[in-house]
Amino acid sequence: MTSPLQQKLKITGPVVVTANRLRDGAVVYRTVEGQWSPRLDQAAVVSTAPAATELLAAAVVDDVSAVGAYVAPVRIGADGRPEPGNLRETIRHAGPTIASAITTEI
Amino acid sequence: MYVYDELDRTIVAERVAEFRDQVGRRISGELTEEEFKPLRLMNGVYLQLHAYMLRIAIPYGTLASRQLRMLAHVGRRYDRNYGHFTTRQNIQFNWIKLEDLPDAAADLASVGLHGIQTSGNCVRNITTDQWSGVAPDEIEDARIWAEVLRQHTTLHPEFSFLPRKFKIAVTAAPHDRAAVKVHDIGLRLHRNGAGETGFEVLVGGGLGRTPFIAKSIRPFLPKRDVLSYVEAVLRVYNQFARRDNLYKSRIKILVHDLGAEAFAREVEAEWQHIKDGPLALDPAVVAEIAARFRYPDYARLNDNPPEVVQLRKADRRFDVWHGNAVAKHKVPGYAIVTLSLKPEGGPPGDATSDQMDAIADLADRYSFGEIRVGHEQNLVLPHVAQRDLGELWRALDAIGVATPNIGLVSDIISCPGLDYCSLANARSIPIAQELTRRFRDLGLARELGRLHINISGCINACGHHHVGHIGILGVEKNGEEFYQITLGGRADERAELGTLLGPAVPYGKVADIVEEVVAAYLELRERPNETFLETVKRLGVEPFKERVYATH
C-alpha cells in the first residue's frame, strides 16, 4: 500500500483532509485543532502543498480515529465556508443523490 | 434447499469469533489499518464512500425463508432498512458500522450466512442459474456442482492468495441464465453424442477494463474430473498470471496472452498429475452432496388450473403480470415466479427489510420456504403451485415487487455507482431510475420485447455494461460525469460484447439518447418480432449512431 504521504500533492486551490471514521465509516474532516469532525465547516482549509502535506501527515499518524485520509478539494462558498469541490466529495458529504434511497443523518 | 453440515457451521462460527477478535483489536489500536484491511476484506467488509459495506454470499443464489428474514433483520438492526442484491448473487449492506459487524456476522452465522470469500484474491461466491432444480430445460441441477466446487474452494490454502479475484459460474441448461461466458471459469453441463453428461470448460471470460468472452478449452469433461480440472486451471493461473500489474492479473489476460490453445496445453499437463488422485470425484460423495439438496414434496397437480385461466381472462393486470413474470416449471401444476426489484423510480436490486420479511412469509406460504436470487438483481419464488398464482400476485403487488417488467427495458442491471462505491467515476442508480421513469409505459416495454439495459459507474463493470443489449458506462471527463453507450451486447449462451455507439455523452443526455436508440429500433426493425439484438446484429450500430448523433 502506498502511503498517502509518498504521493506528491498537486494543489491548485483550497483543500481539506478527509477520511472515514474508524468505528462507523462516517465521513470526517481534519480540523484546525487536530481532531476529526463530521462537519466540513469545521475543517482546516489550506491552499499550499506544504500546508496540505503537513495536515495530511498529522492525520495519517492518527490511525485509530479515522482511516484512509487524503486531500480533497473544496470551494469557498459566498458565506466563506468550505463546500465540497467535486461530485465525489459532494456525495461523500451529503450522501447518495438517489431520491428514494433510505438515508438518515449520520 | 441445501442443508449445511456441522463442518460448515463450525467454519462459519470459528470465523465469527476470529473476526470479533480482529475488530476489537483494530478498534483498540492494536492492529493498524494496513494490518486489518486484508482481514476485513476476507470477511466481505469494504470501506465505501461514506460507510462500511458488508457483502454476504448467497451460494448459487438459493435462500431459505429464515435466511431472508435474517437479512431483513440485519438491514433493520445494523443498517438502514434495506439491502442491495448484486450481479453475483450476493447482497450488500451499505451503512453498517465496524463496531456492529461482529454481532451482525454472528446473527448471519446463526442461519449459515457469511461474507467469507466475498472479497479478496480468492475464489468468490460460485454462481449458477437461479432456476436450477426447477427449469424445464435443464439437464440436471447445476447447484450440486456449484456446491462441490464451493466445498473444495472454501478456505483452500493454495487458492487464498491468487493473483486476483476468481469467479466461477455453472449452468446446466441449454439457455445460459448464469452468464458463464463472462466468468473466469464457466462450466456448461451438457450431453455429448454418447448421451453422457459432462462439462464444457470455458476460461478467461470477464468484463472490467479488458473484456473478453471466455474461450472453450475442453468441449467435454467427465463429471468425475470437474474438481481436478478446475484445480489444474487454478494452478496454471496461480503460477503464470501476472502479479506485478493489477490490471493484467486476471486469468482473461493470461489466456489472451498465451492463447487459449497454449493455456489449455498447460492445464492438460498439470491435470495429468492430479486427475486420478484424491480429487477424482467419487460418485458416492457427489450423491451425498446431492442428497443434501432437499426438494419440495410437490403435490400432483395439473397445469393451467381453471381458476388461473379464468383470472387471466377477467383481470388484465394479472394477465400481463402472468405473461411476464411466471415461467414454466419442470413439475406439472407448478410455476417459477420472478419478483421484480426494479419498480419505477427504484434503485435496481434494492429490497427493504419489510419487503424481505414479506417475501420470506410468501415463500413459506407459496414456495416451500425457498427464494432464489438471480444475477439480474431480481428474486425468484421457485416452487409456486399455479393455483396460488392469483393470491400470490395480489400479495406481491401489495409490497411493490410485481412490476411486470422482467426482461424488458426497465428491468435494468445497475451497479451502486458513485452514490456508494469508492471505485466509481459516475453515478449509475439515478440513470437507471430516470430510465425506468422514461419507460414507465409497460405497453411500450412489451412492444419493445426483450431489451436489457446494463449500467456500470466505472470500468470495473459490476453492472455488466459490456453485455447489456444497451450498455451504459460512466466515465469522468474533467470532473464531469460522461457515459459511453454500447449496443448489441449479450450475456447468454451466445454472449457478445457490445459495440460503442459513439462519443460519450453527459449525464443529463443519457436518458434522451437511450430513448432515441429505442425509437430508432422501432423504426428500423424488419418486423414486430425482430428483437432489438437481431436488429443491431443485422444493421450494426451505424444507423443508430446516425440518428442519435444527428439529433444531439
pLDDT score for A2? 57
Q: Which residues contact A7 (CB under 8 A, 6 or more apart)?
A: none
Give the one of A67, A87, A88 whose C-beta lies nearest to B33's C-beta.
A67
Kindly state the average pLDDT of the residues B436-443: 95
Interface residue B419 vs chain A (CB under 8 A): yes
- The x, y and z cell numbers of residue B390, run together, are 392469483
- Asked if residues A81 and A50 have their Cβ atoms less than 8 Å apart, the reply is no
Q: Does B81 touch chain A (CB under 8 A)?
A: yes
Facing A24 at nearest CB: one of B80, B98, B345: B98
B47 contacts on A by Cβ (under 8 Å): 20, 25, 67-68
Under 8 Å CB-to-CB from B97, ≥6 apart: which residues?
A23, A24, A25, B51, B52, B78
Cβ distance A25 to B52 less than 8 Å, yes or no, reads yes
Contacts with A87 from chain B: Cβ below 8 Å: 418, 479, 481
Rounded distance, CA B64 to CA B347, Å? 24
Which class is domain B142-291? alpha beta
Kindly provide the residue ranges of all beta strands, DSSP E only, lying in B320-445, ordered along the sequence.
Answer: 326-328, 334-339, 350-352, 370-373, 379-385, 413-414
On average, the pLDDT of chain B sits at 96
**Closest-CA distance of chain B to residue A51, Å:** 24
- Whole-number pLDDT of residue A100: 53
pLDDT for position A47: 96
pLDDT at B431 over 90: yes
Taking 50 as the threshold, does the pLDDT of residue A105 lie above it? no
CA distance B29 to chain A (A): 6
Give start and end residues of each alpha helix (H) in B172-259: 226-240, 251-258
CA angle centred on B413, ends B408 and B419, rounded to 5°: 135
Query: Taking 50 as the threshold, does the pLDDT of residue B193 lie above it?
Result: yes
pTM of the model: 0.96
- Confidence at residue B288, expressed as pLDDT on a 0 to 100 scale: 95
Give the model confidence (pLDDT) of B104-161 as tens digits. 999 999 999 999 999 999 999 999 999 999 999 999 999 999 999 999 999 999 999 9
By C-alpha distance, the chain A residue nearest B32 is A63
A to B CB pairs, distance under 8 Å: 80
Interchain pair A88, B49: CB under 8 A? yes
pLDDT in tens, B474-505: 999 999 999 999 999 999 999 999 999 999 99
Q: What is the pLDDT of residue B348?
A: 97
Q: Kindly state the average pLDDT of the residues B494-523.
A: 97
In CATH, the number for domain B6-109 is: 3.90.480.20
Nearest CA in chain B to A97: B419
Distances (CA, A) of B345 to B11, B400, B454, B547: 41, 12, 16, 27
pLDDT band at A6 (very low <50, low <70, confident <90, very high): low
| Residue A6 touches partner B, C-beta closer than 8 Å | no
Looking only at Cα atoms, what is the longest distance across chain B? 68
- Contact indicator for B71, B88 with CB cutoff of 8 Å: no
**How far is Cα B511 from Cα B453, in angstroms, rounded to an integer?**
11
Domain B306-398 indexed as CATH 3.40.50.2300: no
Q: What residues of A are in contact with residue B433 (Cβ under 8 Å)? A: 98-100
Residue A3 has a pLDDT of 63
Is B303 strand, coil or helix?
Answer: coil
All CATH 3.90.480.20 domain ranges of chain B, comma separated, are 6-109, 306-398
pLDDT of B62-101, one tens digit each?
A: 999 999 999 999 999 999 999 999 999 999 999 999 999 9
Tell me the average pLDDT across B534-543. 98
pLDDT > 50? residue B179: yes
Chain B environment of A22 (Cβ under 8 Å): 26-27, 33, 98
Domain B413-551: give its CATH code. 3.30.413.10
Question: How many angstroms separate the Cα of B100 from the Cα of each of B422, B446, B477?
Answer: 21, 45, 38
Q: Where is B56: in which H helix or E strand?
A: strand B52-57
Q: CA of B51: which chain A residue's CA is closest?
A: A25
Q: Does the pLDDT at position B549 exceed 90? A: no
Spatial distance between the Cα atoms of B262 and B259, rounded to a whole number of angstroms: 5
Nearest-CA distance B47 → chain A (Å): 7
Helical segments of B299-352, H only: 306-314, 316-325
Q: Which residues of B touch A91 (CB under 8 A)?
A: 49-50, 418-419
pLDDT digits (tens, 9 = 90+) for B299-357: 999 999 999 999 999 999 999 999 999 999 999 999 999 999 999 999 999 999 999 99
On the question of pLDDT at B405 being above 60, the answer is yes
Per CB-CB distance under 8 Å, the chain B contacts of A98 are 347, 419, 429-430, 433
Structure confidence at residue B369 (pLDDT): 98
Asked if the Cβ–Cβ distance from B97 to A101 is below 8 Å, we say: no
- Which tens digits make up the pLDDT trace of B230-246? 999 999 999 999 999 99
Cβ-nearest to B99 among A1, A24, A103:
A24
Residue B545 pLDDT class (50, 70, 90 cuts): very high
User: Is B433's pLDDT higher than 70?
Assistant: yes
Q: Identify the pLDDT of residue A4.
A: 62
What percent of chain B is predicted at pLDDT more than 70? Answer: 100
> Which of B 261-320 lie inside 8 A of A, CB atoms?
none
pLDDT at residue A20 greater than cutoff 70: yes
